[in-house]
Amino acid sequence: MTGPMEQGEPAPDDENTPRIPSPRAAGDDLAGDDLAGGRSGSGRFVPAPREGGRGAPASPDRRAGPNPEPETPPPPDPEPSSTSTSPSSAEPEASVPEPVPPDLAPGAEPPSHTVLKSLLGAWALAACSTEETDAVEAHLTECAPCADEALRLRDAVGLLHTERSLDLDPMLRTRVLENCLGRRPARIPVPGWAAPYDAEAARLDALLNDFGDAEWHAPVRLKWFEEERRASRRTTVAGVIGHLMAVDALVATALGLDEPVPLDPEEAAGGPTARTEALWRAGRYPLTRTVREPWREQSHTLIRTVSFAGRGAAELAVSYGEFALSLQDAMLDRAFECWIHAGDIAEAVDYPYDPPSGTHLHGMIDLAARILPATLAGRRRAGLASPPRGLVTAGSPGRSLRLEIEGVGGGNWLIALDSPAALASADHEVAHVALDGVEFCKLAAGHVSPQEAAVGQLGDREAISDVLFAAASLSRL
């Protein structure tokens, strides 16, 4: 058949059939005769033979034609002699070095101003390589316009993602609860006067959530103020939680709940200190992480009980041994102590802890301000304060001190100086004290002494000293 080939029929493998030459390799890719192809003595490239020895591509001097002359095969290589060097013993092939980036090559020109200016954005985002960072920062020491632009870009990056604490916002729980209760009010709401304790117990529980054994046994020093001097007691994080549980039991027993630790009548009447010592001595709740669950359950039970107790429960008396508070004031007192001791725990494990919300902090300060006249009178009876200068009948205005609390939770309170039964009056103001709200709470907790408190003072220095020492005397174990 001399007709055209059928579609898909393979072409005959004939050496006379014209072939498309294979791609030429670059001359730089040929290292010598050890490659498949080589160069002849005249420098002309000789391609490698085809696999199987069948036809070779035509050379540049060869012309395709009807009767091409047969190519003379090259003479065979002589047999290697015994004295010749074998390929395996020849000099090893030199490795080809990897290319070096132009900006890292020795003696390379430094990047231009235009290139470095284009890298300022990546530099501000800390996205440059080490070499680029070094080049940009070296350039910034020499180019004032680029240095100004770099500062502006760095400031802009700070606005894109501001640095924030990893801790949750202390008001997050309150906002979530308010949003939920706004959509679906609780059938039995928590009384407003119990909300501070509910919030502070929840914050402390969240702090304890990820503690390991090492944190539970971290040393904590409880501090308070006795008469004219500081006092302290060393315990552990677990011991602090046991202390809170023992004093919370004062409220629990007033509500008819069970004691966490059975006490004899003398210990039960001894107040917070005796209860704490009894719990620390008892083996029912060992001072380990196991104390968290009973404390947590007790705090939840208190909140549930006061929520179901009704409106009249707020005035129920809670005995602290030497004095008594109404139930709503006792819940504020427990919230205050929960916050203060949570701060002690956070300090022991080197963790930040924020103060309560402004509304709750204001309630705690208000409780301390209302107790100050009776505390001052008690110190006066013990000979620890100056005698009264003007006794008046109960309900009559008398000498007063203005307590100004600044910052979150702040306000103004008038403190009766000569008698708790006297009426504090701005017309009889003889002294003025101003200090920050958190600083005042630390003073009332015995964590700051009256001499160290940052206080703005105006007026009767003796009255100011008596009130500051009375505030420190509010603290206890």
Whether the Cβ atoms of residue 366 and residue 329 lie closer than 8 Å to each other: no
Q: Which of 160, 179, 199 is the last residue of a domain?
A: 160
**What is the per-residue pLDDT across 216-271, written as a single tens digit (0 to 9) for each?**
999 999 999 988 889 999 999 999 999 999 999 999 999 999 888 777 777 777 78
Task: Give the pLDDT band of residue 8 (cuts 50, 70, 90).
Answer: very low
Task: Give the pLDDT band of residue 465 (cuts 50, 70, 90).
Answer: very high
Residues 200 and 328 in one domain: yes
Query: Is residue 262 packed enough to be buried (19+ CB in 10 Å), middle (13-18) or exposed (0-12)?
Result: exposed
* The pair of three-digit structure tokens given for residue 132, joined into one six-digit string: 């680029």
- Could you tell me the CA-to-CA distances from 262 to 249, 271, 282, 285, 306 in Å, in that order? 11, 14, 9, 12, 23
Residues 245 and 377 in one domain: no
C-alpha closest to that of 175 among 362, 357, 354: 357
Task: Give the pLDDT band of residue 109 (cuts 50, 70, 90).
Answer: confident
DSSP state letters, 286-302: -SSGGGHHHHHHHHHHH
Task: Give the pLDDT band of residue 90 (cuts 50, 70, 90).
Answer: very low
Q: What's the number of domains the chain is made of?
A: 3
Residues 255 and 386 in one domain: no
Torsion over CA: 281, 285, 290, 295 (sign): negative
In a domain, 260, yes or no: yes
Task: Give the pLDDT band of residue 292 (cuts 50, 70, 90).
Answer: very high
**From its phi and psi, is residue 171 left (phi > 0), alpha (psi between -120 and 50) or beta?**
alpha
Tell me 219's DSSP state: E
Range of the domain at 423: 373-472
**What is the per-residue pLDDT across 116-159, written as a single tens digit (0 to 9) for each?**
999 998 998 888 998 899 999 999 999 999 999 999 998 888 77
In a domain, 329, yes or no: yes
CATH of the domain at 218: 1.20.120.450
Radius of gyration of the chain (CA): 45
pTM over 0.85? The answer is: no
In a domain, 33, yes or no: no
Residue for token pair 């920050």: 436
Residues 225 and 332 in one domain: yes
The confidence score (pLDDT) of residue 56 equals 43
Q: Which of 291, 314, 348 is the last residue of a domain?
A: 348
Residues 266 and 317 in one domain: yes
The confidence score (pLDDT) of residue 455 equals 84
Residues 216 and 249 in one domain: yes
Tell me 29's DSSP state: G
Q: How many Cα atoms occupy the beta-carbon half-sphere of 309 within 13 Å?
A: 24
Alpha helices in 97-143 (DSSP H): 113-118, 120-124, 130-140
Distance, in Å, from the CA atom of 460 to the CA atom of 430, rounded to the nearest integer, reads 6
Residues 281 and 395 in one domain: no
pLDDT at 82 over 80: no
Residues 261 and 151 in one domain: no
In a domain, 355, yes or no: no
CA angle 142, 148, 152 (to 5 degrees): 145
Whether the Cβ atoms of residue 468 and residue 375 lie closer than 8 Å to each other: no
Residue for token pair 């502070």: 200
In a domain, 211, yes or no: yes
CA angle 261, 262, 267 (to 5 degrees): 100
Residues 312 and 404 in one domain: no
Give mean pLDDT, residues 85-111. Answer: 51
